[in-house]
Amino acid sequence: MKAIESPNKDDDTQWLTYWVVYGIFSIAEFFSDIFLSWFPFYYMLKCGFLLWCMAPSPSNGAELLYHRIIRPFFLKHEAQLDSVVQDLKDKA
């Protein structure tokens, strides 16, 4: 997320955004997969969602989700997340 928010914008911003969204999706899916797998067409919907997130269009799903949900949450809690990461670095 720090690379996306940096002032140096390269061509890899789209893929960095996708991987942030995919990472958060994977974490959420890890805890809810046992329940979601019982829904009909879950795996087809999951595949469609991931294709929508990586679509090479200006308004793809990863950009939409990142700018409307993830980025505001990250900016609101950035100081707290930085302190947690620093504590983990110190303990390591």
Mean pLDDT for the stretch of residues 17-44: 91
**Predicted confidence (pLDDT) at residue 10 exceeds the cutoff of 60:** no
Secondary structure string (H, E, C) spanning the chain: CHHHHCCCCCCCHHHHHHHHHHHHHHHHHHHHHHHHCCCCCHHHHHHHHHHHHHCCCCCCHHHHHHHHHHHHHHHHCHHHHHHHHHHHHHHC
* pTM summary value: 0.74
Q: How confident is the model at residue 13 (pLDDT cuts 50, 70, 90)?
A: confident
**Higher-confidence residue: 23 or 56?**
23
Domain ranges of the chain: 9-91
33-87: pLDDT as tens digits: 888 888 899 999 999 999 999 888 777 899 899 999 999 999 999 999 999 999 9
